[in-house]
Each structure stands twice: as structure tokens, then as C-alpha cells.
Amino acid sequence: MCDDFTAEQEEEALAARGLNRREFAAIGAATVIAACTAPDSLAKGGPALKEAMVSFKTDDGTADAFFVHPAKGKHPGVIMWPDIAGLRDAYREMARRLAGAGYAVLVLNHYYRSSPAPILNSIAEWRTPEGQAKLKPMIAAITPAGTMADARACVGFLDAQKVVDRKRGIGTQGYCMGGPYTVRAAYAVPGRIKAAASFHGGGLVTDAADSPHKLLKDTKANYLFAIAKNDDTRSPGDKDALREAAKAAGRPAEVEVYNADHGWCTLDAPVYDKGEAERAWARLLVLYKGL
């Protein structure tokens, strides 16, 4: 989770760059993303893309989201759930890369109940007192039931788009607090969501009756659980619980602890690790081949 525990590794990562948190934030999200983005993030010779901010109705109002897809043809749909700092430039860039690989990608502003995106411009802002004061009430407004309703609305939006191939399943991927949303989405729409990936997700294994790992048995998705090494240090039993739950549910699941800290896949994170992020990206593409 994005808390004081994982903040220690962020401070160490910044120190290795010769920066403090204030200096990192001052660089600007666009500069950080440009420095971190893999050279082939939008593959040379790849398809031309179309993108737009879109809105659609949910049970709780009107959601805003970023939608990007190849300009021609029909493609599998994907729902992307950002980390705690929400929909921003880093996730737009990550969505563009996935669209370039042949997917119609919808990145939800999961804070739409409180404010349109962007709410924060970078993950660094979450670590400030102002950022936390802004986000904590918005986080509290998100419930498991609300997330599942949002998933149904996202699927409804995707299935209404001409560029989405309804003969293929839908994928979903989430980061940090978005990790468990992928399982809840697969549980909410089992007939459509066929692949779910969590990257440094928090809250996947809890004692609650509706803990995400307990929902696997009522889904029809294949899974990728990419776990951060510092999250594993804090909760070493989670990986085993996920493997056991997937096995009991008869759901294919790849569960692996990566040699990187919480947040390593997010482009503007202080702990972004290009090597391990690329490895996770490759596994995601393998997962989505089954859609």
C-alpha cells in the first residue's frame, strides 16, 4: 500500500538519484514521465491511435475516463484502474502504450464521485499534506459495491463502442489501490472480464468476507498478481493465500514477487524500475493473449 512503510523506499530511491521529495516534485510530472518512458512505449510503426476524455453514467453519477484505441479495426477492451493519485498524465501514457499493442483502453477516474480528473498531477503530490488532505475524503467515498458497479458501467461503455471486439473478452489491470479493483471487476462481470492483472496491489488478502482473494471462485478470469518486494516483506503470507485461493477456485493465476518496490510500474513514481516494469509488461501481454 502507498503508506508510511512504502514511503521509506521512495525516499531511498530519490536519495539514490540525488533528489529529495520536494525537488522530485518540482521537476514536473511530464519531465519525469519522459525520462522514465521506454523508447518503444509507442512502438515505431505501430497503429495510429485515437484518444479522448469520455463520460458515461454509473449508479453514482457520471464518470469521466480516458479512452484510447487504435484508429482502425476492432480490439479487445481493457479497463485500467490507476493508483492512489488517480488518472493523470502517467496513466494516459501507460494506456497509450497498451493501445499501441492492440487494445481499446479505458482509464477510469475512480474519484469521479468527488471531482473530475486530474485531481493530482503526480504520485509525488500524494505524499504532501495537501495531497493527502484532498484525497483521503475521496478515497473514503469508494466502496467495494461502488467499485463493482463502476466495473459494470465500464464494461457497458466498452461494449457500446464500435472499436471494441465483443467476441473477445475484456481485460482489467490495476495498480496500488486499483489492484483489488481488478478482482472485484472480474467478480462483478464474470461473463465479460476474462483476464485481470494487479501490479503492486494492496488489500488483496484481508479477513473480510468479501476480500478479493475470496472472490476468485466466482469469477471466470485468468490472473496475474505482480507483488512488490516491500509489500511481500510486510505481508509474506499474501502470495501463498492468493495461490491457494486460485487453485481452490480452479482459476489460472501467476503470482510472483518482483525485485522492485511498491509503485515500480507507475511511470512517475520515485521507485519506478524500468527493468522490472518491462518484465511485468511482458507478462501482461501474455495474459491478454487469452482474451
Amino acid at the residue 227: I
- pLDDT at residue number 39: 46
Q: What is the pTM of this model?
A: 0.89
Amino acid at the residue 166: R
Q: Bridge-partner residues for 253, per DSSP?
A: 223
Residues in the chain: 291
- pLDDT at residue number 139: 96
Can you point out the beta strands (E) in 31-188?
49-58, 61-70, 77-81, 104-108, 170-175
The one-character DSSP state at 193 is E
Q: What crossing angle do the helices spanning 89-100 and 29-36 adopt, rounded to 10°?
A: 30
- pLDDT at residue number 27: 53
Q: Strand 104-108 relative to strand 77-81: parallel, antiparallel, unpaired?
A: parallel
Contact 193, 172 (CB under 8 A): yes
Question: How many Cβ atoms from other residues are within 10 Å of residue 14's Cβ?
Answer: 18
Q: What is the pLDDT along the chain (291 residues), one digit of tens a residue?
A: 555 544 455 455 444 555 455 555 555 455 555 655 544 444 456 899 999 999 999 999 999 999 999 999 999 999 999 999 999 999 999 999 999 999 999 999 999 999 999 999 988 888 888 999 999 999 999 999 999 999 999 999 999 999 999 999 999 999 999 999 999 999 999 999 999 999 999 999 999 999 999 999 999 999 999 999 999 999 999 999 999 999 999 999 999 999 999 999 999 888 899 999 999 999 999 999 999
Say how far apart CA 174 and CA 79 lie, in whole Å.
8
Say how far apart CA 53 and CA 67 lie, in whole Å.
6
Say how far apart CA 142 and CA 184 lie, in whole Å.
13
Residue 107's φ and ψ, nearest 5 degrees, are -105, 110
- pLDDT at residue number 40: 46
Q: What crossing angle do the helices spanning 179-188 and 144-159 adopt, rounded to 10°?
A: 70
- pLDDT at residue number 123: 87
97-120 CB burial, b ≥16 within 10 A, e <16? bbbbbebbbbbbbbbbbbeebbbb
